[in-house]
Structure 1
Amino acid sequence: MTPRTAVTTETVGTDAGTARVTWHRAGRGARLVLAVGHGAGGGIEARDLTALAAELPAHGVTVALVEQPWRVAGKKVAPAPKTLDTGWRGLWPALAAPGLPVISGGRSAGARVACRTATELGARAVLALSFPLHPPGRPEKSRADELLGAGVPTLVVQGGNDPFGRPGEFPECGRGRATGVPPGVRLRGNAGARAGDGRAYELVEVPYGDHGFAVPGRAGITQREAVAVITDAVVRWAGSLA
């Protein structure tokens, strides 16, 4: 049984408006902070974000669920990427306040924000959930440069049927498997990249999952099992960073 987690909420002023952080704290054994932002079409109630907040504190990772200012203000449409980045930068001092290394993360549009700002903010690593590699049906509009430019160790968790980019569409790593990468986990990135050098990244596939990691009833995996793929992968990966 997962221990009860202390949950607190704080508001943070940024140049893009007032943001909100819901903390799920790991307690005295905390080794890392995982800060995760939502996508352009939803909030922190997404199934992957709530699952991580429930599971990771028991493994020494404090989870900070971040609501961007536009969401806190009740707006229906996300602003331009530049404004999202401004909000994330303004939040960063609060995320770093516990004095622990911070994994910068997010789902969909939030993953893009994390990748674009990781190096300048001093993130320990990036967690990209449902990274929107391209708009649906438009593979020529690739955003791979954002992912490959994160500059820190990166884990991508992607649904097998994500219309914003299926796992097989992501750039391959030119060096193949690197030492220490578990079976079933793909190492990808720029040609010549090695695990941990900031240019390679790990990619974990959630079988049959769509952009929200929902799996159809006919899939050979239950919804609970699909979510477990996500949490198990992040627990393993975060443990390698601590």
Structure 2
Amino acid sequence: MSLLAPPAGLVVLPGAGGDRDQRTLVALERDLADAAPDLRVVRAHFANRDAGRKGPERPAVAVAHVATLVTDLAAELGVPTARIAVGGRSFGGRMASMAVAEGLDVAGLVLLSYPLHPPGRPDTLRTAHLPAITAPTLAVSGERDPFGTPDELRTHLGTITGPTEIVLVPGNHSPADAPVLAAVRSWLLAT
């Protein structure tokens, strides 16, 4: 199920060790610029990168940063945050999902390679907040992702209360960009 209407903007964030120039985020911005020139895409990184730190940002700080990015983009475009989609790759998607679960009103949530758990530790789940998400959600993951198998994704992302679509693509935690871009483009822009 795609969104009811294409959003006015999209904010995307990278995985824990990445920055705004992460390969898939750059490819996504370019792809959407071609497909929907009026859709404003903001590729952002977490504030710790500005301070020269490369490890993951603390969740509370990262979630607040996501909310600020969405609010700022909405203000720039003169629309409510409910017209902005948000998401990211791995840690970036998880932080975006936590912001939405905490009440950030968005058009949709895009989760790329969502990290349900650390590799090899399926009992260390990062899913407690998922039932609080009511926004339409797209999850795109590799079929062999060690951070969550297809069955685990269906089970745990199935607890999201908003409409949810899971797209599995060939690959692992860093699948090829083409099928990821096609899934996101189709979901964001189909009406």
Q: TM-score range by the shorter chain?
A: 0.7 to 0.9
More helix per residue: 1 or 2? 2
On the 8 A contact 1:144/1:171 being kept in 2, the answer is no
2:97 is matched with which residue? Answer: 115
Aligned to 2:11: 35
- Give the alignment's TM-score, normalised by structure 1: 0.67
Asked whether the equivalents of residues 46 and 57 of structure 2 are also in contact (C-alpha less than 8 Å), the reply is no
Query: Which 5+ residue runs of structure 2 have no aligned equivalent?
Result: 1-5
Please state whether the residue corresponding to 1:171 is helix, strand or coil.
helix
Name the counterpart of 1:238: 188
Select 1:149's aligned residue among 114, 132, 136: 132
Stretches (4+) displaced over 4 A: none
In 1, distance between residues paired with 2:131 and 2:141? 15
- The residue identity in structure 1 corresponding to 2:78 is G
For each residue in 1:157-209, what CA deviation from the matched residue of structure 2 results, as whole angstroms up to 9, or x when unmatched?
A: 10112111122222349xxxxxxxxxxxxxx613xx8xxx61x41111121x2
1:203 has 2:166 as partner: yes
Is the partner of 2:41 in helix, strand or coil? strand
Whose radius of gyration is greater, 1 or 2?
Answer: 1
CA change 1:103–1:94 in 2 (3 A) is same
Q: How far apart are the structure 1 equivalents of 2:138 and 2:14?
A: 16
Aligned-partner residue type, residue 108 of structure 2: A
Q: TM-score, normalised by structure 2?
A: 0.84
Partner residue of 1:10?
none
More strand by percentage? 1
Offset from partner CA, 1:7-57 (integer Å, 9 cap, x none): xxxxxxxxxxxxxxxxxxxxxxx9521100111111122221111111012
**Secondary structure of the residue that 1:170 maps to in structure 2?**
helix
Other-structure match for 1:103: 85
Q: Pick closer, same or farther for the CA change 1:36–1:88 going to 2, 3 Å.
A: same
- d(CA) in 2 for partners of 1:87 and 1:235? 25
Cα deviation, residue 131, structure 1: 0.4
Percentage identity across paired residues of the two chains: 36
